Copies of this chain bind each other. A is one copy, B any other.
Amino acid sequence: MIRFECDYATGAHPKVLQALADTNFEACPGYGVDAHCQNAARLIRLACQAPEADVHFLVGGTQANLTVIAAALRPHQGVVSTQMGHIADHETGAVEATGHKVLSVPSQDGKLTAGQLEALCQAHYADPSVEHKVQPGMVYLSHPTELGGVYTLSELEAICQTAHRHHMMVFVDGARLAYGLAASDITLADLGRLCDVFYLGGTKAGALFGEAVVILNPALKRDFRYLIKQRGGMLAKGRLLGVQFEALMEDGLYQRIGREAVDKALRLQKAFLDKGWPLLVPSPTNQQFPILPDGALARLSEKYTTCWWSKPDEGHTAVRFCVSWSTTEQDIDALTGDIRAL
C-alpha cells in the first residue's frame, strides 16, 4: 500500500534523524534550556525577523493549542474559531478542559473572516446582558486550514486589526505551516509582525514530533515555561526538540519540505481535475480533497490509502490525499498514472 491518508505516517526526514543520532551521547541539561534549543530558537527568530520573540518547543499540536490558550485567557474569556477549527472539533474538548469555551463560527471553507469577527464582537459588547456571555479573548486561525486552504496577507492583516481593536490576541496554528509558506503570500516575518503567538509545526513537516511556539505579545511571554510544565508539555530531554528544529531551520529544510510536498500535491490536483473529478474545496497545499466516483475510489483503495472525508451524494465520496516529505515522485507517478488509466 502507498499511504496518502495523512502527513504523519512515517518517521523523520533523514537529516532530522541523523541530527538526533549525531547528538545522542551528548549530555545536556533537561527541560529545554540546552544549547540546541537556544540555537533553534535563534534560527527561528531570524527566520521570523522577530528578535524579541520568545520561542518554546512543545511535543504536539493539541498540547501547544491548549497551553497557549490557557496561558492567554482570563477565566471568563473564550477563543473564537471556525466550527471546523481543530480546537473546536478534533481535540476532545481540550480547550474546554482548561475552562474556556470555544466560540465557534460557521465556515464553508474553514476560513474565518474579519467581518465575522467584527460582527461577533459587536454583538457581544452590544448585548445588554454582556456579562452573561463568554467574552471573546482570542482568535484562533489554522494556516493552512483543516481543509488545506490558506489566508492571504491582506485577510490576515484585517483579522489582526479587528482582533486587536477588540482587545483580542491572534493565535495562528501552524501545524502545517511549512505547506502554507509555499502556497500563500504570508511569510514567517508577516506572522512575526502581525500575530500575538503562532507555531511552526514540525510533526507534519519532517520532524519525529515537535511544534515551535513563537510568542510576540509580551503579556503572554511572562511565566510561559510554568504553563508548559503544568500542562505536561515540558519534555525532560528537551534537546530532542531543539536538535530537530535546528536541522529543519538550518538550511531552509523546513521551507523546502513544504515546497516539494506542495509541488507533488498540485500534480495530484491536476490529475484529479484532468479526470473530471471536482475538488471539495480548492486547496493550494499538501492536502487535496477530490470527490471521486465510488467505483474509482474502490479501485484506488486496493493500492493507496486515503482518509474518508464526506459523502456529497450517493455514488461519490470526498477523500483526503496527503503528501508529505516522505512521499516520493514514484508514489505520485504511480497514483497519477493509475488515475489516468481508470
User: Which size class do A's interface residues fall under?
Assistant: 35 or more
B326 near A91 (CB under 8 angstroms)? Answer: no
A61 to B237, CA, bound (A): 12
Q: Which of B8, B27, B203, B223 contacts A135 (CB 8 A)?
A: B223
A17 to B12, CA, bound (A): 13
Name which residue of chain B comes closest to A86, CB basis.
B132
B residues in contact with A230, CB < 8 Å: 75-76, 91-94, 97
Name which residue of chain B comes closest to A103, CB basis.
B93
Give per-residue flags for A206-246: 1 if the beta carbon is below 8 A from chain B beta carbons, else 0: 00110000000000000101111111111111001000000
Report the minimum CB–CB distance from A311 to chain B (whole Å).
12
A8 near B237 (CB under 8 angstroms)? Answer: yes
A24-B11, A27-B10, A71-B75 are known contacts. Are A59 and B92 too (CB-CB below 8 A)?
no
Report the minimum CB–CB distance from A72 to chain B (whole Å).
10
| Residue A131 interfacial (CB < 8 Å) | yes
Report the minimum CB–CB distance from A59 to chain B (whole Å).
5
| Residue A99 interfacial (CB < 8 Å) | yes
Name which residue of chain B comes closest to A223, CB basis.
B76
| Residue A204 interfacial (CB < 8 Å) | yes
| Residue A296 interfacial (CB < 8 Å) | no
B9 near A75 (CB under 8 angstroms)? Answer: no
Copies of this chain: 4
B residues in contact with A30, CB < 8 Å: 6, 8-9
B59 near A94 (CB under 8 angstroms)? Answer: no
B residues in contact with A96, CB < 8 Å: 78, 96, 99-101, 134
Listed by A's residue number, 29 A-B pairs whose Cβ atoms lie within 8 Å are A3-B27, A6-B30, A9-B29, A11-B26, A25-B326, A59-B235, A62-B229, A62-B232, A63-B233, A71-B75, A74-B223, A75-B97, A75-B227, A75-B230, A76-B226, A89-B133, A90-B133, A93-B134, A93-B230, A94-B230, A96-B99, A97-B98, A97-B99, A97-B230, A101-B102, A131-B234, A135-B223, A209-B235, A209-B237
What are the 7 tightest A-B residue pairs by CB atom distance, in nearest-first order? A63-B232, A11-B24, A76-B226, A92-B230, A3-B27, A9-B27, A93-B101
